[in-house]
Amino acid sequence: MKAARINEFGPADNFFIDEIDQPQPATGEVLIKQDHAGLNFIDVYMRNGLYPIDQFPATLGMEAAGTVVDAGDSTKFKVGDRVAYVMIPGAYAEYRCVHQDKLVKLPDSISTETAATMMLKGLTAYYLLRRTYVVKPGDSLLVYGAAGGVGTLLTQWGKHLGATVIGCVGDENKAEIARDNGCDATILYRSENIPQRVKELTHGKGVNVAYDGIGQSTFNDSLDSLGNFGMLVSYGNITGKVEPFSPAILAPKGSLYVTRPTLATHVSTPELLNEAADGLFEVIDNNIVTTTISHRWPLAEIAEAHKALENRQTSGLTVIDI
């Protein structure tokens, strides 16, 4: 079977398509014929060495969906079931084995293509909006990367929950995308002062929560955009890890909260995984969030897909056809 792999950390051109043996299910596992995989910044972090890899050659990719072709000794799935998973490296391959406790069964209304592009981004949006900070009507949100995959979902879902959403984007084209998806206002982070614009847009109050997937370069701006008792949710490292800081700075800024969650914790048990997946599938079924595929690459062109993502040339959802 074919798999996209790397032999060392480095640029996207390190990818090569390898022919490897098809795996066999171990105890509790099923074998999946994968249809599609998603593309996410965590894949880039693993490729360039920001996140560790145990051994090389390594098959990357953190979400995919397909069909069970060998159910092994599973008590939860059978041959023919359509399934999806997230946060398990190895998605860039034609077949793979996954433990039954790490899988969700797809309802008839959710295609494998949709699941493969929505599991990581969609479940991230779920835990950010419904667990980390429980958004309620009247709240104000600052969403970075508002034209991107997670940002679009945060905007659409946040608006459905009754919040005012301020989107932070890199250029006017992405600002238009963000507004089309429901942002009440947008900020061009390259040319505008983020905290100043937030305070203008909120009549000096600041936002209740800042969803910051950018990392190092925006951390202080996010803190300064919060109102009293506001929460900074730092959930990504696009510009690098946030430097150590003194918690004492949070008091004079308004008794603020800072958290650094990860999806891995929020899907670490079958109960947590299925609760989040049910919440995601519900908003997809009710057309609360958009599931349109904006970009598509075959597995053989995974390097080009990574380059486009790193160069901020993508918006919305991206699928890798396996």
Judge if 14 and 88 occupy the same domain.
Answer: yes
Judge if 59 and 31 occupy the same domain.
Answer: yes
Supply the CATH number for residue 300's domain: 3.90.180.10
Residue-level pLDDT at 216? 83
Angle, alpha carbons 270-40-295 (nearest 5°): 120
Do 159 and 185 meet the contact criterion of CB atoms below 8 Å apart?
no
Q: Specify if 280 maps to a domain.
A: no
pLDDT in tens, 262-309: 999 999 999 999 999 999 999 999 999 988 888 999 999 999 999 999
Judge if 33 and 115 occupy the same domain.
Answer: yes
Structural domain including 295 reads: 2-120+290-321
Judge if 74 and 18 occupy the same domain.
Answer: yes
For residue 97, which phi and psi values (nearest 5 degrees)? -100, 135
Judge if 62 and 155 occupy the same domain.
Answer: no
Supply the CATH number for residue 191's domain: 3.40.50.720
**Range in 74-78, 138-142, 149-153, 290-294 with the lowest mean pLDDT:** 290-294
Phi-psi region of 215 (alpha: psi -120 to 50; beta: other; left: phi over 0): left
Distance CA 52, CA 162 (A): 39
Q: Specify if 274 maps to a domain.
A: no
Q: Specify if 127 maps to a domain.
A: no
Distance CA 158, CA 132 (A): 13
Judge if 92 and 160 occupy the same domain.
Answer: no
Distance CA 131, CA 43 (A): 24
The structure's pTM equals 0.92
Q: Total structural domains in the chain? A: 2
Domain boundary among 260, 281, 306: 260
Q: How confident is the model at residue 103 (pLDDT cuts 50, 70, 90)?
A: very high
Judge if 6 and 102 occupy the same domain.
Answer: yes
